[in-house]
């Protein structure tokens, strides 16, 4: 194997190892997000994107070259595959075809895993960001709930506090209405799903009846 194909094969093995590392269950997405958003990688982010596209272009060129080599040696193999062809020439042709096929799989899998890794990293970063936003929203909701309880316990001592309490009550009433509306929508969707399931079962039963009738009519015609 030549030097450049050895490097591509080594890169493929590194990609496989990195994918296995990403799939480890005890390493959370938060941990990977911290690694991806570290100061070192942030400083190299623009350069890494540039290098990524350059790497994809190089792998694509080697992939196309491997396809060309496969087609070339396959055509020569069919052309010279006569009984008069020397055995050594046939063995050499088959060896070249095997190398072209090996290079095709190496470059193809390396290119595929390169795109897969980029997609996985993006999804993991987005997932970690959503989790952080969810935790922040939960903390804000808890703090707002505690503030509302404090204001309600304090009572209507002065005009400002009573206005704040009234505003908080209005917000809570609005949230309760939205929650009830959402629950109604969920119940209606659940009812529609049940109706669709029942209709599907009925149509399947009618289909089975029609198939049995067709089979019976076919048996009678055969008799």
The rounded distance, in Å, linking the Cα atoms of 168 and 147 is 9
Which position has the higher pLDDT, 153 or 110?
A: 110
- Report the alpha-carbon distance of residue 188 to residue 194 in Å, rounded: 10
pLDDT, residue 134, reads 80
71: pLDDT confidence band, cut at 50, 70 and 90?
A: confident
CA distances from 143 to 129, 140, 153, 162 (A): 21, 5, 15, 19
- CA-based torsion, 136, 137, 139, 143: positive or negative: positive
- pLDDT value at 164 more than 70: no
Poorest-pLDDT segment among 9-18, 52-61, 133-142:
133-142
For residues 43 and 141, the model is more confident at 141
What average pLDDT does this structure show over 31-56?
75
Kindly tell me the sign of the dihedral angle through the C-alpha atoms of 101, 106, 111, 112.
positive
- Give the Cα separation of 51 and 87 in Å (integer): 46
Tokens linked to 75: 């055509």
At 124, the pLDDT band (50, 70, 90 cuts) reads confident
Residue 40: per-residue pLDDT: 61
Helix (H, G, I), strand (E, B) or coil at 155: coil
Q: Which two tokens stand for residue 155?
A: 């009572």
As a whole number of angstroms, the distance between CA 109 and CA 103 comes to 10
Per residue in 176-217, pLDDT (tens digit) is 777 777 667 667 766 765 666 666 566 667 766 776 766 666
pLDDT tens-place string over residues 95-108: 888 888 888 999 99
What's the pLDDT band for 64 if we cut at 50, 70, 90?
A: very high
More confident residue, 117 or 212: 117
Q: What are the C-alpha distances in Å from 91 to residues 77, 81, 105, 122, 220?
A: 10, 11, 21, 47, 63
Would you place residue 80 in the very low, low, confident or very high pLDDT band (cuts 50, 70, 90)?
low
Kindly state the tokens that stand for 216: 């019976």
Three-state SS for 83? coil
Provide the pLDDT for residue 45.
66
Helix axes 87-154, 159-222, angle to 10 degrees: 140
Average pLDDT over every residue of 114-125: 85
Rounded distance between C-alpha atoms, residue 213 and residue 219, angstroms: 10
């Amino acid at each position: 194997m030549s030097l450049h194909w050895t490097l591509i094969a080594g890169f493929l093995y590194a990609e496989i190892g990195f994918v296995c590392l990403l799939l480890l269950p005890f390493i959370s997405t938060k941990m990977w997000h911290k690694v991806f958003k570290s100061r070192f990688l942030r400083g190299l982010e623009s350069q890494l994107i540039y290098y990524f596209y350059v790497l994809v272009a190089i792998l694509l060129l080697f992939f196309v070259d491997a396809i060309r080599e496969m087609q070339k040696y396959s055509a020569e193999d069919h052309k010279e595959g006569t009984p008069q062809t020397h055995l050594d020439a046939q063995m050499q042709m088959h060896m070249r075809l095997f190398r072209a096929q090996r290079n095709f799989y190496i470059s193809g899998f390396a290119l595929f895993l390169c795109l897969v890794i980029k997609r996985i990293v993006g999804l993991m970063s987005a997932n970690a960001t959503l989790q952080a936003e969810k935790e922040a929203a939960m903390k804000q909701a808890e703090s707002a709930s505690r503030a509302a309880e404090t204001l309600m316990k304090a009572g209507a001592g002065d005009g400002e506090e009573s206005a704040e309490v009234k505003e908080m009550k209005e917000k809570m009433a609005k949230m309760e209405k939205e929650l009830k509306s959402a629950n109604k929508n969920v119940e209606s969707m659940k009812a529609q799903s049940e109706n669709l399931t029942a209709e599907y079962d009925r149509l399947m039963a009618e289909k089975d009846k029609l198939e049995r009738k067709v089979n019976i009519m076919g048996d009678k015609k055969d008799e």
